[in-house]
Structure 1
C-alpha cells in the first residue's frame, strides 16, 4: 500500500493562468519591446491554478518581497 509520505518527492508542473487571448500571426510579428498584449481577464478576477495542465484551484495575484506570488483562494 502506498503511503502519502511516499509521494512527497514527486515533481509536478504547477502553473498559474493569468489570462488568454487569440491573435493572428501577423499581430505577433509586429510586436516590439514595450507593447502590451491585452488579456481576457480583469485585475479583480481570480487566476486559474493548474497542475500538469489540469485546473486545481483559483488564486489571486499578490506581491511578496518584490516578487509575484499567488494566494490560494479555493481548491477544486
Structure 2
C-alpha cells in the first residue's frame, strides 16, 4: 500500500469514527457496537484485508441518525 492509499485509509477511518460517535447509544447497540468498541472495530477492519470499513456515506452522521430516531419514536 503506497503512502497516498495509507493517508486516504486513515482519513476514511477518522471520518467513520466521527460518524459513529455521533450516533446515540441505542443505534450503536442495534449494530452491535458501543462507544468503547468503535475504535477497536475500525482498527480491526483496517488490519483485516478481507473486511473493508463501511463507507462513511452509509453511516450518515447525526442528521440521518436524528431523522431515524424521530421516525422510530413516532412509530412507537
| TM-score, structure 2 normalization | 0.20
| Higher Rg | 1
Higher-helix-fraction structure: 2
Higher-strand-fraction structure: 1
Of structures 1 and 2, the one with the larger relative CO (CA 8 A, separation 6+) is: 2
| TM-score, structure 1 normalization | 0.20
